[in-house]
Amino acid sequence: MIIAVFPGQGSQTPGFLAPWLELDGAQERLAQYSDLAQVDLVAAGTEWDADRIRDTQVAQPLIVAASLLSWHALRDVTPAAPAGTAGHSVGEIAALVASGVIGDEDGMRLVGLRGRAMAAAAALEDTGMSAVLGGDQDAVVARLTELDLTPANYNGGGQLVAAGALPALAELSATPPAGTRVIPLQVAGAFHTRFMAPAVEALRSAAGDVAASDPSLTLWTNRDGSVVADGRTALDLLVDQVASPVRWDLCMSSFAERGVTGIIEFSPAGTLVGLAKRALRGTPTVAVKTPDDLAAAAALLTGDDA
């Protein structure tokens, strides 16, 4: 089983969309996505600097738009398709579109709203996130509990992301758990924690008006790494996930249990393939960073080694 995975916030870099805009129809598709998300995605992906595209209400629709653009580009190259899909954090919106649960238009509307609502929630208190690399996971979680921090992302491969109040994160950096390295992340707030509750309510209201179909591909949820077969449930889980931890570690464990034989990560690719190389050793992967990578992705899907 070859699966498609879609990255989350922080995977974007200045100018990364430029090569994709050379594809036929890409400018028009991005213009439509821009209107739906209420962000100038062409300018954001080609002209704006790192600080500007780090803004939550820009980064989230930019990442999902790039994922969908590269997803459709691969579908134009080969009739072969992945058999399953999953997304990391905001990447779950792209996964729901790829699996047919929602359409492109609803996906881009929802991600625009999600970015704006999470930015607004983050502005209410001084919070942030830090990556904790290495160490014993139970010991790390125990230390976070002592500091009233939340393990927001369980990324697997010895990587966990802590989230919460900035003074507590500073104390974590000053006195890290044994065998760990703490790296503050350049994000606006404590995503996937109780601090995002206002954003959940805003997104739930909008999602209630969206028609959801059952997924046509095997679809995994960040909630617990399980497979979701009901479209409305998948959409509800996506909404709740804004204020609950991302269990990408459990997703990867489930990939292994389901016999996944290859992983294609869509633009802006690299992060999830990197995690898979550590947690799912030996599983073939392709990171679709530019249109030049589409041929390798198509070859993985068709089993063509040429």
| Residue 184 bridge partners (DSSP) | 130
Element (H, E) at 204: helix 197-207
Task: Determine whether 253 is an active site residue.
Answer: no
Tokens of 191: 């995503």
One-letter amino acid for residue 208 of the chain: G
Q: How many helices (H) and strands (E) does the chain have?
A: 13, 10
Nearest-10 Cα torsion for 119, 120, 123, 128: -40
Burial (CB count within 10 angstroms: exposed 0-12, middle 13-18, buried 19+), residue 4: buried
Tokens of 228: 């979701």
The whole-angstrom separation of Cα 168 and Cα 143 is: 11
Catalytic residue among 67, 72, 88, 192: 192
Task: Determine whether 88 is an active site residue.
Answer: no
- Biggest distance spanned by C-alpha atoms of the chain: 54
Residues 6+ apart with CB under 8 A from 301: 2, 78, 80, 81, 82, 262, 264
Catalytic residue among 89, 99, 130, 244: 89
Residues 6+ apart with CB under 8 A from 3: 82, 83, 84, 85, 86, 218, 255, 260, 262, 263, 264
**Number of neighbours of residue 145 by Cβ within 10 angstroms:** 11
Query: What is the per-residue DSSP string for 6-29?
Result: E--TT---TTTTGGGGGSTTHHHH
Active site residues: 89, 192
